[in-house]
A and B are shown apart, each in its own frame.
Chain A
């Protein structure tokens, strides 16, 4: 087989250059369009790029809960958009859309692309409880299986059964991530969380308690993708896209919540794409300094750590309990508190945190000396991931 790195021509040649994010709130009192525009304008401003140089906008939405890239381009007054696209995907999308933006840039379809997610996901349509229509949902809803916490609880339970784990393994994730969130002013859940408090918190969809589930939010987040060469002339250190993969396997399902055909609910897309991801970056799991792992629910962190090879079978929870993923640990994970604590901007904020960290801009949470980061998007049968690296520039 040919070197997969050769096939993804944008690797090493494209970069993330800026981040824009609104406040995360429980009731924004604003339109989704205004949130999207604030985040997108913010990402360009943050990078130090004039909006007139942006010629691409890319977004994703769930069940029509967002606004079009065309509407955002219009609101931003972009003079000559050449790449506007909206995909109907969920949490598997953010890293995948960064890949698409990078491919567009590398191929010449666009020069500077904003990738955004905007939603009134708390005060408006809530992803976690919306009954989206579809063929596979018709085989879930009549049984009272109507919402993502319930769908993914099925994966979590089988995972705990096969790995000999317990609910405390899920609790370890929630507790560890909260140690980061206390220092994140954007996070909706910032109070410290002990394992005792975890056990005492109410069950939602056993084995998930409320604190195993992301906290939904109103808000928007955008990142600016550009060429590595252009990024080098912008405000912050370029965050170079060194590795990337999107994928799933046979029997992926008819929608993101469909698990009727997937053979093994203890292994998600991360175990499918891991080899291609690491090969594309020319790196091994042990080579990354931190991980930002999509965590709509606590269990997805355990599956991703295993799937990517950051932990052995059934060993992720022990690594977390030992403190390795917390501040000062050897593999910091979800340094914004994750979607569990910061809030649910559908994983776009997971990518944003990676950029902040790689640019040394995560405040007191900044992991000193970190040069590389793996980022995932998705929790179920399909998903995407990036390996990012900081390109340090000489001080002016």
Chain B
């Protein structure tokens, strides 16, 4: 199993979050869905932030729309400084959960709100663990 440098910093640090990163390595986004009200969320909370109901684990289709984004020009550590400029987006997954991840495959200046994107999971350990690309794009 290959995990990225970024994931390696995280797995094993919090038992609640490990399942999410294990799923990413397997090429999927793991969500929690409330068994009472159906609300979906990414953060590994023990109960639903909407109604305090019990969550169950589900897998996302990995598709959604770009809610907002930042183009990082100044990074605060060496590893990220080598990557600027890069885009981090807030994606509203179709299941209703918001997630942060890289956005690639679109010129940052051409990004538009609510553009459709899909998640990819680069196997290269030096790449970010989740990268959203335009939904119609063929490349990963």
Contacts and interface: CB of A to CB of B under 8 A. Distances in A.
A129 B75 CA distance: 9
A146 B70 contact: no
A251 interface: yes
A144 B73 contact: no
B57 interface: no
Interface in B67-86: 67-77, 80, 83, 85-86
Nearest to A129: B76
B24 to A, nearest CB: 9
Given A150-B88, A261-B49, A142 B9 contact: yes
B16 A260 contact: no
Nearest to A162: B113
Contact of A205 (B50, B72, B99, B100): B72
A145 interface: yes
Nearest to A254: B43
A143 B97 CA distance: 17
B92 to A, nearest CB: 10
B99 A157 contact: no
A215 B108 CA distance: 27
A158 B88 contact: no
Contacts of A153: 70
Interface string A207-245: 100000000000000000000000000000000000000
Contacts of A139: 17, 20, 42-43, 99-100
A189 to B, nearest CB: 17
B63 interface: no
Interface in A56-92: none
A136 interface: yes
A168 interface: no
Contacts of B13: 138
Interface string B22-52: 0000000000000000000111100001100
A158 B73 contact: no
B2 to A, nearest CB: 15
Given A138-B13, A139-B100, A158-B113, A144 B69 contact: no
B130 A143 contact: yes
A140 interface: yes
Contacts of A380: none
Contact of B70 (A129, A205, A260): A205
Interface in A103-155: 129, 135-136, 138-147, 149-150, 153-155
Given A143-B101, A144-B128, A135 B74 contact: no
Contacts of A144: 72, 75, 80, 83, 86, 88, 102, 128
B113 A154 contact: no
A93 B76 CA distance: 26
Nearest to B8: A142
A-B pairs, top 9 by smallest CB distance, nearest first, are A142-B6, A206-B71, A158-B68, A153-B70, A129-B76, A203-B73, A145-B88, A204-B74, A161-B113
